[in-house]
Amino acid sequence: MTDTQHKSAAEVLKRSPVARYLQLASLFRRNIESGEWEVGAKIPTVEMLAKECGVANMTVRQALDILEGEGLIERFRAKGTFVKARPRRELWCEVQTDFNGLLLARENAQIEILSDERNVTLPKFEGLIGTPVPAYRRLHRRHSRDGTSFLLADIFIDERVCAQIPEDAYSRLTAMRLVADVPDLTIRDAQQEMTIGSADFETATMLDIPLGAAVAHVRRTAADQDGALVLLADGIYRGDMVKVNFKLR
């Protein structure tokens, strides 16, 4: 890193409300991912990193503890710290950007129902495309692939249509597909929005990622032919396993 980059990193660490050791862990992880710290290479000492980033030695050690727990680095007494592996990137989960794509389940994905509540009132949300109905079925689901969780989702489905959805579909189909397949129900309007954030304690625990790691929040809503909001799905994707492709032409 150049002197300018060092100063910029130190300034960002001071401005962000996220704990500094979590920010450093993300920075060091990117160094490995980008190849700046190559696999097998020895990384700078704790003292050097602390000076570069303008933090205490203990803060750097806490950040390196996270990377060691992820299997990215290994430490050797009297030898130093070496890059062991790059972050995993083979479990991409693509966020679809068209309606047909939202109906497709992820290949080899498993859906676990963590909780299932009936006749609940929809919490207050801003910018909804339809009119909320009196009662919803709320499902909290976790999506995994090859034993690795990549998505947590809260789904609200209009209670009036739940009887027409086979019970086994709730652990097989995407949220949008659940309502799209209901007979005599026409989806007149559907919307998706995405924001980038960081994992809180619950999300980090459920997705097995570091506290403060990048996540993508995706909200999907659907309204029927009468303008009723029949679906609201709030999903949180692991930031290191998600990508969004937009077809421009």
Beta bridge partners of 83: 73
CATH 3.30.70.20 given to domain 3-83:
no
| CATH architecture of the domain covering 93-244 | 3-Layer(aba) Sandwich (3.40)
Do the strands 93-95 and 242-244 form a parallel or antiparallel pair, or are they unpaired?
parallel
The pLDDT averaged over each successive group of 10 residues in the chain (249 residues) is 50 61 84 89 94 91 90 92 80 55 64 95 88 96 88 95 94 90 90 88 86 86 94 90 68
- 43 touches 83 (CB < 8 A): yes
- 174 touches 105 (CB < 8 A): yes
Q: Please enumerate in sequence order all residues whose Cβ is within 8 A of that of 110, keeping only pairs 6 or more positions apart, or say none.
A: 143, 144, 145
Beta bridge partners of 157: 137, 231
> In this predicted structure, what is the pLDDT of residue 152?
94
Domain positions in the chain are 3-83, 93-244
> In this predicted structure, what is the pLDDT of residue 99?
53
> In this predicted structure, what is the pLDDT of residue 213?
81
> In this predicted structure, what is the pLDDT of residue 18?
64
